[in-house]
Amino acid sequence: QVQLVQSGAEVKKPGASVKVSCKASGYTVTGYYMHWVRQAPGQGLEWMGWINPNNGGTNYAQKFQDRVTMTRDTSISTAYMELSRLKSDDTAVYYCARESAGPRAFDIWGQGTMVTVSS
Amino acid sequence: DIQMTQSPSSLSASVGDRVTITCRASQSISSYLNWYQQKPGKAPKLLIYTASSLQSGVPSRFSGSGSGTDFTLTISSLQPEDFATYYCQQSYSTLGLTFGGGTKVEIK
């Protein structure tokens, strides 16, 4: 079945970087944009950006422009999101989500990866 | 960025009630509005896309309407499995997508 499976929870110190993976299965990964969305504990959803797995093109939310890098490895149907210079308020669950259905609507989501930033 | 404002932020309702959640955009977004349901500890689930199109597999008691700046999600007869938090999301701005703050639907 169509699914996205993310890497496991991470604990990082302030100033470090984290790289979260998202492996797609059940569909052709190059056919759909992949987005990343995060959710701080008890808070709402925050969009971070997208990657076009077909050509590697990216678009990042202005808030994360200088700290986020989204990449992909089509040979293993996996997308990555790396966030650098971590701060305590980056503590959140990070989701990958496939864009399908309507434009920029997310029909398939990963299970989420908890990233905790603490000294 | 386009700001999305949901109301109410929470509501209490009983099984069988008709529930309406509103989402307002800070500028016109045509029909580029999606709705999601999220249960505790789970990823969001797409319910409605482009304002009124029902996602495959979603029960028909869910419906969406609106265009421009004002949108509505309606649950015609609330079921026990519908107690969750609901988010709207604008997909008009290709460079900056934004979500509403969420509406938590609780059991009365």
Q: Which of A5, A58, A104 to mutate to test the interface with B (most CBs of B within 10 A)?
A: A104
Asked if B3 reaches chain A (Cβ–Cβ under 8 Å), the answer is: no
Kindly tell me if the per-residue pLDDT of A102 is higher than 90.
no
The letter for the amino acid at A35 is H
Whether the bond into B8 is cis, omega within 30 of 0: yes
Task: Find the mean pLDDT for residues A64-86.
Answer: 97
Phi, psi (deg, nearest 5) at residue A62? -55, -35
User: CA-CA distance, B71 to A70, in Å (whole number)?
Assistant: 32
End-to-end, the C-alpha distance of chain B in Å comes to: 36
- Report the Cα A55 to chain-centroid distance in Å: 17
pLDDT single digits (tens) A33-54: 999 999 999 999 999 999 999 9
pLDDT single digits (tens) B15-32: 999 999 999 999 999 999
Look at residue B94 in the predicted model and tell me its pLDDT: 81
User: CA-CA distance, A43 to A113, in Å (whole number)?
Assistant: 15
Check B99 against A45: CB less than 8 A apart.
yes
Partners of B99 on chain A (C-beta within 8 Å) are 44-47
Closest to B60 in 3D by CA, of B79, B83, B34: B79
Structure tokens at A49: 């950006």
Q: Which of A45, A60, A94 to mutate to test the interface with B (most CBs of B within 10 A)?
A: A45
pLDDT single digits (tens) B78-96: 999 999 999 999 999 988 9
Check B49 against A35: CB less than 8 A apart.
no
